């Protein structure tokens, strides 16, 4: 059985500048929120025409989280992000998990993303 994964945070690797990200990857990061499931994360990437791959990183994460390498590919350009993910209880059967909705966005802060 697979673990249920919830996104805690997305980060850039230490050697990557935010200005070097393609616009679609920046839009992807702005569209993510804490509490997203793995399926929601992959669906959001597909909607922005990104090919996504989520793989476990060897180093441990802080506060009981796991670190995953989230590789996004668009048009031959590859961008790697670090996803801090919390593993919750194991899934049972075919029952669907409760849907995590995006937080309400303040229109005054739209320029920050």
d(CA 41, CA 8): 12
Residue 69 belongs to what domain range? 3-89
Residue 1: pLDDT band with limits 50, 70, 90: very low
Residue 61 lies in a domain: yes
Angle, helices 38-47 vs 23-31, to 10°: value is: 140
Q: What is the mean pLDDT of the chain?
A: 83
Residue 112 lies in a domain: no
Residue 12 lies in a domain: yes
d(CA 95, CA 56): 25
Residue 60 lies in a domain: yes
Residue 40 lies in a domain: yes
Residue 28 lies in a domain: yes
Count of helices and strands (H, E) across the chain: 2, 4
**pTM value?**
0.74
- What is the total count of domains within the chain? 1
Residue 70: pLDDT band with limits 50, 70, 90: very high
With vertex at residue 80, the alpha carbon angle to CA 77 and CA 83, rounded to the nearest 5 degrees, is 145
């Amino acid at each position: 059985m697979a673990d249920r994964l919830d996104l805690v945070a997305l980060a850039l690797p230490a050697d990557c500048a935010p200005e070097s990200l393609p616009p679609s990857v920046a839009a992807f990061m702005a569209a993510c929120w804490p509490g997203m499931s793995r399926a929601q994360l992959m669906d959001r990437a597909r909607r922005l025409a990104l090919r996504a791959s989520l793989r476990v990183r060897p180093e441990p994460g802080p506060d009981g989280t796991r670190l995953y390498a989230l590789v996004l590919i668009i048009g031959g350009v590859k961008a790697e992000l670090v996803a801090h993910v919390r593993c919750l209880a194991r899934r049972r059967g075919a029952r669907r998990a409760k849907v995590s909705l995006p937080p309400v966005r303040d229109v005054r802060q739209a320029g920050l993303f």
